[in-house]
Amino acid sequence: MVRNLILDMGGVILEVDYRQIFKSFTEFGCNDMQSFFTQQTQIPLVDDFEKGLITPAQFRKEIRNIIKKDLSDKDIDTIWNSMVLKVRKDDVELLKILKSKYERLYLFSNTNEIHLEYVKEMFYKALGYDVFSSLFDKVYFSNEIKRRKPDSESFEYVINNANVNKEETMFIDDTEQNILGAEKVGLKTYLLNNHQTLCEIYNKGII
């Protein structure tokens, strides 16, 4: 029996499009950035940023070195945040039902300081309250816990910190490699693919 849920953020309760970053870089005259960042793989700089190992200032400096352009902090943040599209309001509203249905509800997201500040404001503007403190028993952001999916140690950290039984806990994500990482440590999993939503799988009785 599943008693607890751990949800991803981007692609689950937040609409994202990683390709938008490339389009935004092109608008600033930076081409051929496809090898820089995708949903599946990314350069070590992004991994380090998502693990909170470097500051936003260090990240921006390295971006300037990569693109060979002296973009402002604001321009870099605009490019970086362009992948974040909108809040999935219906799925967020569903969390209220899931919170009462399951014993505990958690969020575990690979993110970084620039994105996190931006999405917190986006959620608040869209819904008028703090989603993270109101709807989740606890949130785990990779840059804050210094660990990121799909590494086994990141899942073990969340499981131990949340003090949940992994056999009674389901992890939901839209990225296959993260699902495989969760399965490796013994979590039950569900992969949201083909633009599935939480509402759709709830209506099908999956959660």
How far apart, in whole angstroms, are the C-alpha atoms of residue 151 and residue 136?
23
Instruction: Express each pLDDT in 44-78 by its tens digit.
Output: 899 999 999 999 999 999 999 888 889 999 999 99
Cβ neighbour number for residue 176 with a 10 Å cutoff: 14
How far apart, in whole angstroms, are the C-alpha atoms of residue 102 and residue 179?
20
Instruction: Express each pLDDT in 147-197 by its tens digit.
Output: 999 999 999 999 999 999 999 999 999 999 999 999 999 999 999 988 899
36, 136: one domain: no
Q: What is the domain extent for residue 120?
A: 4-15+86-203
Among 53, 81, 109, residue at a domain's last position = 81
How far apart, in whole angstroms, are the C-alpha atoms of residue 33 and residue 177?
22
Computed over every residue of the chain, the mean pLDDT equals 93
Our count of domains for the chain comes to 2
Q: pTM higher than 0.85 for the full model?
A: yes
100, 191: one domain: yes
Q: Are 4 and 55 in contact (CB under 8 A)?
A: no
High-pLDDT (> 90) share of the chain, %: 83
* 203 exposure class (CB count in 10 Å sphere: 0-12, 13-18, 19+): exposed
Residue 52, domain CATH: 1.10.150.240
